[in-house]
Amino acid sequence: MKFLCLLFSALAATASARPPLEKPNVIVILLDDAGYGDFSHTGNPTVDTPNLTRMVREGANFPQFYSASPACSASRYGLLTGRNPRRSGFGKWVLGPADQRHLHPDEVTIAEGLKQRGYATGLFGKWHLGTPNGANGNTVDSLPLAHGFDRWLGTNLSHDYNPASHLMKGPSAVNQPVAGYEIIARSIAANIPVMEGLTGRYADAAIGFIREKKDEPFFIYLAPNMPHLAVHVPDAFKGKSRRGLYGDCIEEIDHHLGRIRAALEEEGIAQNTLVIFTSDNGPWIRFQDTASHEQYGEARLLIGSALPFRDGKGSTWEGGVRVPGVWWWPGTIPAATVVRDPASTLDVLPTVFALAGQALPAGRTLDGRGIRPALNASLFPGMVPDFSFVYTGDSTNAICAVRKGPWKLHTRLYSQTGNNYGFTTSVASPLLFNVEQDPSERIDQAAGNSAKIGELKSVVDTFEASLSKEGTFWD
């Protein structure tokens, strides 16, 4: 009898689900400071991520996937808007608790566009695109509900800001710190139990949202605070990984990824749901030699790996922006798809809008491309526009490099470690690497390649002309 009940429930769920291509649900999972080499499918020998590996086997893996920026506020801007962070008007790559600026109300986010198509929208995790404060008049425009999200549970900043990072939720009638919000826990950097439970708390909220909204299209942006320093896990995951506490953290995230997939399958909507898994930037190797830190502990063991790429977070070397890119949509994306061409988080908004039937935002330039044909060429015929990518960084979102095809041109170098690895560069005398043949950026091929250098510089010139013409919404 129990079997029959389960069978009838499954059949009923299948019957009620929309056709897979009709306003598919979208879940974007964005880790914080996870390295390219921190997962089983990218070759880590001691971190076990079976649920992500299953997504790779059943979906699409993008070995050449980029975050929009090597630092968190800028990268989150790029993901949510499809626009290069230099267009943000932030003037910096990480927004602090006292900064006046925030995600501008005139920007169009994934959540805002999908709401226009009838989607329910939820953010569960770190925001870091603005904080209400005296400099901005404590504006509600600095927080997620003003940017298309129906519901939010998460932190305003990275969890290591002390005392300015709070666990918050909205909507709420408590109206704290501003109308529509509620502070659940203040100054969480000093609250270890809260930090140990953050990842699970967000996953629980996302699963609850899935079950609540299963009969309508929904968008979930799940943004764990981890593995950004300081790294924390609950007791149930301590000591589970051969990689130590850092591995425990990654494996907890993978565990909750499995729970989310299971919830989709139990509700009969897995085939209606596109799940995208990635990270906001590379690992924070600034602390790779730090044996003892007042807040982070033995940080050198608590940061990830960008291998085989050079450097990490805060750098426009490949290790700062090369991140895992896994797209899973059973029944639509063929199993074991490998997309060898490069793509980025800038491509998420135009791709998702096309899937939902939402027009692209007018009155602005998007830097991402729709990449539906790469997911399934028979279902989505056509050509994916050529990939070109302008790397911005150096704390002010300055232009540092550009990639087109396999070639990457550096005109400016920056690393939080202070190490330029023996190279120097400038606009007049740039570095040129073939990052498909030389992913670690060891061999400068600028000599004798003036035509290729000119071609890449023209990409930057076009981008700068666009910036000059449009400005930012803050201008």
Q: Do 417 and 305 belong to one domain?
A: no
Residue 241: DSSP 8-state: S
Q: Do 307 and 428 belong to one domain?
A: no
Is it the case that residue 15 has pLDDT exceeding 50? no
Q: What is the CATH number of the domain that holds 71?
A: 3.40.720.10
Whole-angstrom distance, CA of residue 27 vs CA of residue 179:
27
CA angle 279, 282, 287 (to 5 degrees): 130
- Reported as a pLDDT band with limits 50, 70 and 90, residue 11 is very low
Over the stretch 160-203, which tens digit does the pLDDT of each residue have? 999 999 999 999 999 999 999 999 999 999 999 999 999 999 99
> Strand pairing of 431-434 and 407-410?
antiparallel
Query: Considering the domain boundaries, does residue 80 fall inside one?
Result: yes
- Reported as a pLDDT band with limits 50, 70 and 90, residue 19 is very high
Over the stretch 398-424, which tens digit does the pLDDT of each residue have? 999 999 999 999 999 999 999 999 999
- Reported as a pLDDT band with limits 50, 70 and 90, residue 17 is confident
Mean per-residue pLDDT for 217-242?
98
Q: Do 410 and 308 belong to one domain?
A: no
Is it the case that residue 139 has pLDDT exceeding 60? yes
Residue whose pair of structure tokens reads 């990449």 in the numeric block: 371
At a CB cut-off of 8 Å and minimum separation 6, what does 122 contact?
149, 150, 151, 152, 205, 206, 209, 218, 219, 220, 221
Is the distance from CB of 289 to CB of 300 less than 8 angstroms?
A: yes
128 CB-side CA count, 13 A: 27
Last residue of a domain, one of 347, 375, 403: 375
Mean per-residue pLDDT for 207-220?
98
> Which residue numbers are catalytic?
72, 128
Tell me if residue 153 falls in helix, strand or coil: strand
Residue 290: DSSP 8-state: -
Average pLDDT over the chain, rounded to an integer: 96
Long-range CB contacts for residues 377-380, cutoff 8 Å, separation at least 24: 379/21, 379/332
Q: Do 282 and 397 belong to one domain?
A: no
Query: Considering the domain boundaries, does residue 191 fall inside one?
Result: yes
- Tell me which amino acid residue 270 is: A
Last residue of a domain, one of 375, 398, 418: 375
End-to-end CA distance of the chain: 66
Query: Considering the domain boundaries, does residue 383 fall inside one?
Result: no
At a CB cut-off of 8 Å and minimum separation 6, what does 376 contact?
332, 333, 334
Q: Which two tokens stand for residue 75?
A: 């990268």
Query: Considering the domain boundaries, does residue 439 fall inside one?
Result: yes
Q: Which two tokens stand for residue 235?
A: 């007791």
Q: Do 80 and 106 belong to one domain?
A: yes
Handedness of CA 311, 155, 117, 28 (dihedral sign): positive
Q: Do 393 and 289 belong to one domain?
A: no
Q: Do 394 and 306 belong to one domain?
A: no
Is the distance from CB of 99 to CB of 196 less than 8 angstroms?
A: no
- Reported as a pLDDT band with limits 50, 70 and 90, residue 16 is low
Question: Going along 101-178, which residue ranges are E strands?
Answer: 120-125, 151-155, 167-172
Q: Do 336 and 455 belong to one domain?
A: no
Q: Do 370 and 422 belong to one domain?
A: no
Is it the case that residue 14 has pLDDT exceeding 70? no
Query: Considering the domain boundaries, does residue 16 fall inside one?
Result: no
Q: Which domain holds residue 251?
A: 22-375
Check residue 229 and give its pLDDT. 98
Q: Do 208 and 323 belong to one domain?
A: yes
Query: Considering the domain boundaries, does residue 5 fall inside one?
Result: no
Over the stretch 91-118, which tens digit does the pLDDT of each residue have? 999 999 999 999 999 999 999 999 999 9
Q: What is the CATH number of the domain that holds 437?
A: 3.30.1120.10
Is the distance from CB of 314 to CB of 306 less than 8 angstroms?
A: no
Is the distance from CB of 117 to CB of 356 less than 8 angstroms?
A: yes
Check residue 4 and give its pLDDT. 45
pTM: 0.96
Q: Which two tokens stand for residue 157?
A: 């900043």
How crowded is residue 141: how many other Cβ atoms within 10 Å of its Cβ?
16
Query: Considering the domain boundaries, does residue 381 fall inside one?
Result: no
> Strand pairing of 151-155 and 25-31?
unpaired
How crowded is residue 395: how many other Cβ atoms within 10 Å of its Cβ?
14
What is the CA 183 to chain-centroid distance, rounded? 25
Over the stretch 344-376, which tens digit does the pLDDT of each residue have? 999 999 999 999 999 999 999 999 999 999 999
Query: Considering the domain boundaries, does residue 45 fall inside one?
Result: yes
Last residue of a domain, one of 350, 375, 400: 375
Q: Do 360 and 392 belong to one domain?
A: no
Whole-angstrom distance, CA of residue 261 vs CA of residue 207:
9
Mean per-residue pLDDT for 429-449?
98
Give the number of domains in the chain: 2
Is the distance from CB of 241 to CB of 227 less than 8 angstroms?
A: no
Whole-angstrom distance, CA of residue 97 vs CA of residue 462:
34
Is the distance from CB of 463 to CB of 403 less than 8 angstroms?
A: no
Q: Do 343 and 422 belong to one domain?
A: no
